[in-house]
Amino acid sequence: MPRRILRNALLMAVITFLMAIGLLFYIHNTEPLPGGENPNNVLLLDGVYTSVQQGYLSEVTVTVTISSGMVSEVQADASGETPALGGAAAAQLAADLTEAGSTDKVDIVAGSTYTSQAVLAGMEDCLAQAAG
């Protein structure tokens, strides 16, 4: 019985060691994407770009600041929308878009579909302006 336990312990140690080596190679060969990175590798010209889109109740103004070819700030003014729904959604989306640097992987906010679509469309328009 003690031989089986020793054999199993050694086998598990070898497997753990091999998995650790594989994990180290994986980590070494991947790079994190910092917030605001330009995931589509499109050359963005530095500046401040603005787009106005129709929300649910009013127009939504999206302002995107590009610095060093990357999105550094996104602001969304949805003051004419319902504050608890559209206003909150615009603020949340502006933060998400600033972090993501594009509309990729940023979803609309439930309960504020029209406002969310306006903010995302405004972001796309601003990026198109920055791309020239």
- Measure the CA–CA gap between 84 and 33, rounded to whole angstroms: 32
Question: Domain boundaries in the chain?
Answer: 1-30, 47-131
| pLDDT 10s digits, 101-120 | 888 889 889 889 999 999 99
What pLDDT was estimated at residue 60?
95
- Measure the CA–CA gap between 15 and 8, rounded to whole angstroms: 10
Taking the whole predicted model, whether its pTM rises above 0.75 is answered as no
* CATH-assigned architecture of domain 47-131: Alpha-Beta Complex (3.90)
